[in-house]
Structure 1
Amino acid sequence: MTYTIAMAGKGGTGKTTVCGLFIDYLAKAGKGPILAVDADANSNLNEVLGIKPALTLGDIREDLAHADIAENSPIPPSMTKKEYADFKFSSALVEEECYDFLAMGRTQGKGCYCYVNDVLREQIQKYYKNYKYLIVDNEAGLEHISRGILPPVDQILLVSDCSRRGIQAAGRIAEMIRQLDLKVKAMRLIVNRAPGGALSDGISEEIVAQKLTLAGVIPQDELVYEYDSAGKPLVALPESSAVKRALAGIIQKLELPA
């Protein structure tokens, strides 16, 4: 059975950094095979992982949506839309040593995308079962999960920065998840960029007020800034870095499948 973990949080919290380092930890711990999916409209998970972007599922969706009206359709006459989608899907899958990577790509344009979303759903459902873990970097709205394009989620990790407004935003996302009745088995909060790796009394009180379960705290780490400024993939951070050590401790407490 594939175990699905979704990361969610408002922009600027370091969610994608946490997601990339989470994937890196599982891969190095021999937890593969892993399918990493970038479902955030502002796609940059590949930069954290240090891999080149490829064809996105959004690109495939646009091709399929306009195939019937285009003067020069990209679909060969001998292929159906589903056959073409299957062919293009394999091109979008970036295969790394310990994980594979898919980018959902940009949000869809005008018109009805019900059919092409159904095609993408079928493609993902067919592929993801070959993996032990599915790790998804989502935007705050969890659009692809709520629409059923991505599989059901076992665990959602909400990522917030160390601010009262950030915790309140995480609380609103948690409430939305409850209203959507996504039937997740667990939902926890990771507080990122905490000064000294500690929470103030006010932030701890806000976590309780928002009815959030704290999974752990990641300290502010200057190495993250240095690597990002130099254009280095953050997975290349030394294992001794504060952020990697803190995240490893959090993951070990999540009781993930062996």
Structure 2
Amino acid sequence: MKIVVCGKGGSGKSTVASLLAKNFAKNGFSVLVVDTDESNFGLHRQLGLDLPQDFTGYYGGKQAVMQRIMAAAPDYGSVSFFDEAWGLADLPAGYLSEKDGVKLVAIGKIHEAGEGCACPMGMLAKQFIGNLKVKPGEVVITDTEAGIEHFGRGIEESADAVLMVIDPSYESLKLAEKVAELSRSIDKPVFFVLNKVDGSSEHFMCDALGDRHAIAAVIPTDPSLAVAGLRGDEVEADSADIEHLGRFLRDTLAV
């Protein structure tokens, strides 16, 4: 199963991705988390892992990847970084962090001012996720950058489902409509997680989304998670809400 997690900045998508990964591992799954957010330096800490070396390094680094893409101009779509399909067991160890059944790959980060755009990471991420062959009992969770640029990059094309995290804000609810539209256009199911909610905001958000959208879970505001995020601490996946979300995805996607 391949799940792409998205949301606006600050919605808690990386926290939900981390909690969900830990929950799947707790339930006996082999889990790979793919970090495609070039500006997120906190996901690995929420997972309790070291930040792995940029996967672009496997191909010589970001600039080498860019040169390979540019050399194919104008036929950029002809560039392929994979000659054969990979399974989770085939991932190069030097570009992984791993703990308690959860592996982490970080496609690439912006490290220096003026180093150029993130386009090489976007193309590599799309091919990396699309190339992975997932067996029964394996789950790939992709944490994307804030917003919807990843749809333009084609990250969702090989996913089994899109999971959008929505916080109590007008911007998040409006973005949910666009994510639903984009997901429908590529024939991908989209599920919503209402995050950081209380009683009144949950009622309003459910009314705003309406019956036409599937709400996979409702996660109440949790001060302990907020403090963990502030400190960069590892998060724990033992809440009933996250267990419900994991079970919903397993049942709905028939894993």
TM-score band, normalised by shorter chain: 0.7 to 0.9
Aligned to 1:234, the other structure's residue is in SS state: coil
1:228-257 CA-to-partner distances (Å, cap 9, x unmatched) read 34432113x6x2xxxx22121222223144
1:93 deviates by 2.3
Partners of 2:119 and 2:205 lie apart in 1 by: 43
Partners of 2:173 and 2:3 lie apart in 1 by: 20
2:193 pairs with one of 187, 190, 194: 190
In structure 2, the residue matched to 1:39 is 36
2:94 pairs with one of 87, 91, 95: 91
In structure 1, the residue matched to 2:142 is 136
Q: Determine if the alignment matches structure 1 residue 253 to structure 2 residue 248.
A: yes
Aligned Cα RMSD in Å?
3.6
Aligned residues: 228
Q: 5+ residue gaps in structure 2? A: 69-80
**Contact preservation (8 Å) 1:224, 1:234:** yes
1:158 pairs with one of 155, 159, 164: 164
Percent identity, aligned pairs only, is 23
Partners of 1:112 and 1:192 lie apart in 2 by: 30
1:151 to 1:133, Cα distance in 2 relative to 1, 3 A: farther
1:90 to 1:65, Cα distance in 2 relative to 1, 3 A: farther
Which stretch of structure 1 is more off in the superposition, 127-136 or 103-112?
103-112
Q: Determine if the alignment matches structure 1 residue 101 to structure 2 residue 99.
A: no
In structure 2, the residue matched to 1:61 is 62
Q: 5+ residue gaps in structure 1? A: 68-80
**Contact preservation (8 Å) 1:189, 1:213:** yes
**Alignment map for 1:65-80 (pairs within 5 Å):** 65=66
Partners of 1:171 and 1:138 lie apart in 2 by: 18
1:49 deviates by 0.3
Q: Determine if the alignment matches structure 1 residue 206 to structure 2 residue 202.
A: no
**Contact preservation (8 Å) 1:8, 1:142:** no
Larger-Rg structure: 1
Structure 2 length-normalised TM: 0.73
**Contact preservation (8 Å) 1:37, 1:103:** yes
